[in-house]
Amino acid sequence: MPPAEPVAAVPSPTDAALIAAWQGGDEQAAAELVRRHARALARFLAGAGAPEADLDDVVQETFIRAFRAVGRFRGQCRFRTWLLTIGGNVLKDAHRRAKRARVVPLADDLRSSDGDPHERAVAAEAEGRLGEGLERLPRLQREVFLLRAQQGLEYEEIAAALGTTPGAARVHYHHAVRRLKECLK
Amino acid sequence: MKDDATFHDAKLQELAQRLGARAAERLDVERTAQAVVARLREERSAPLRGTWTWRRPAWLKIAAALVIVAGAGLVARSMWQTPSGAPAPVETVDLSDMSAPQLRELLRSLEQPGAPEPVSSQDVGLEDLSPAQLRTLLASLEEQT
């Protein structure tokens, strides 16, 4: 049996190529961008206080706003980073409309996870406290913290997305960390 | 052995990375993608309606701004003139009781040569004026300033 020929890896299109394709009318390019970034966006939004019941709606609204405004995206940061900042705006608007308290789904976490129940309970409690601490932070500190600690972005990237300087982003991050540590003590 | 600060930094980082992960995992990405595409398609299929709803607020805002500027000008003028100036000829007339034809008649009489003011705008409601009368009023104000 002859050896199988190596399959040439087809490079996946860049975000910029997908954006251009969407602007040219290709709906599947838009769908691909959603598939590519929806989970990271959902994680960011959930971390920033989006109730899980509303998460899908907030994610959809963020993508809709992003696609409407994509002509103004100048590549000052990555598409995902830009998307996350739009998500922050959508969430702020949603909070303004409905001042619903965030519910930490502790019981659900306990049911759906593996491992030691005590450890899971402790971890869930710590996450709950972190979530509450994040909600009490000023918006900019919260977003800088999540972009840095959760999404792993550099200060330069964060600053470009939020329209501030890397130094200011660093200061916001350190203030956030200091206050969140207090919550976890 | 880690000191407290390092331990807390690592713990915070770890917690932050876990935060929202379960909720994100439960998101049905494909369903979200299809829903977004459907909404975008809907928006694209109604471009004219979109254009109208975008443009209408623009001219409405301009018109509202013009009315506010004119109103502010009138208020400012009345505040400057009231202490020293003579009372305007129509101040004793209750304009709110007058009909639109009566007001037009009044405006015509005030616009006649020799009248002290081309249009006594202090007591005339702007909503009763036609666009042409508003332009005349604005022009008279500009001439005075």
The residues, ordered by sequence, that sit 6+ positions from B138 with a Cβ below 8 Å of its Cβ are B70
* Rounded CA separation A13/A23 (Å): 15
The confidence band for A42, taking pLDDT boundaries of 50, 70 and 90, is: very high
* Rounded CA separation A152/A170 (Å): 13
Buried b / exposed e over B54-75, threshold 16 CB at 10 Å, is eeeeeeeeeeeeeeeebeebbe
Torsion angle in degrees (nearest 10) through CA of B69, B75, B81, B86 = 120
Whether A42 and B11 lie within 8 Å, measured CB to CB = no
Whether B43 and A123 lie within 8 Å, measured CB to CB = no
Mutation target among B15, B42, B45 for the A interface, most CBs of A within 10 A: B15
* Rounded CA separation B141/B120 (Å): 11
- Kindly identify which residue of chain A lies nearest to residue B7, measuring between CA atoms: A181
The alpha-carbon gap from B48 to the nearest alpha carbon of chain A, in Å, equals 15
pLDDT mean across residues, chain A: 85
Whether B41 and A27 lie within 8 Å, measured CB to CB = yes
Residues of B in contact with A134 (CB under 8 A): 19
**The predicted structure's pLDDT at residue B141:** 73
Whether A146 and B21 lie within 8 Å, measured CB to CB = no
**The predicted structure's pLDDT at residue A110:** 39
**The predicted structure's pLDDT at residue A33:** 96
CB atoms within 10 A of CB B91: 13
The closest CB to that of B40, out of A40, A64, A150, belongs to A64
Residues of A in contact with B47 (CB under 8 A): none
Q: Choose the most confident range, by mean pLDDT, from A81-85, B9-13, B83-87.
A: A81-85
The alpha-carbon gap from B39 to the nearest alpha carbon of chain A, in Å, equals 8
Residues of B in contact with A52 (CB under 8 A): 23, 26
Asked whether the predicted pLDDT for residue A121 surpasses 50, the reply is yes
The alpha-carbon gap from A90 to the nearest alpha carbon of chain B, in Å, equals 15
pLDDT mean across residues, chain B: 72
- A-B contacts (CB, under 8 Å): 108
- Kindly identify which residue of chain B lies nearest to residue A62, measuring between CA atoms: B36
The closest CB to that of B12, out of A64, A131, A177, belongs to A177
- Using CA atoms, how far residue B124 sits from A63, B26, B33, B98, in Å, is 50, 64, 57, 10
pTM for this prediction: 0.60
Asked whether the predicted pLDDT for residue A104 surpasses 90, the reply is no
- Kindly identify which residue of chain B lies nearest to residue A174, measuring between CA atoms: B9
The closest CB to that of A47, out of B13, B19, B43, belongs to B19
The residue among B56 and B76 whose pLDDT is bigger is B76
Q: At what angle do helices A27-47 and A55-68 cross, to 10 degrees?
A: 130
The confidence band for B57, taking pLDDT boundaries of 50, 70 and 90, is: low
- Kindly identify which residue of chain B lies nearest to residue A38, measuring between CA atoms: B29
Residues A44-90: tens digit of each pLDDT: 999 998 988 899 999 999 999 999 999 888 888 999 999 999 999 99
pLDDT over 90 percentage in chain A = 60
Please give the average per-residue pLDDT across A26-42, as a whole number: 95
Asked whether the predicted pLDDT for residue B90 surpasses 80, the reply is no
Alpha helices, DSSP H, located in chain A: 15-23, 27-47, 55-68, 79-97, 106-112, 117-136, 139-145, 155-162, 166-184
Written as six digits, the tokens of B137 are: 């009023």
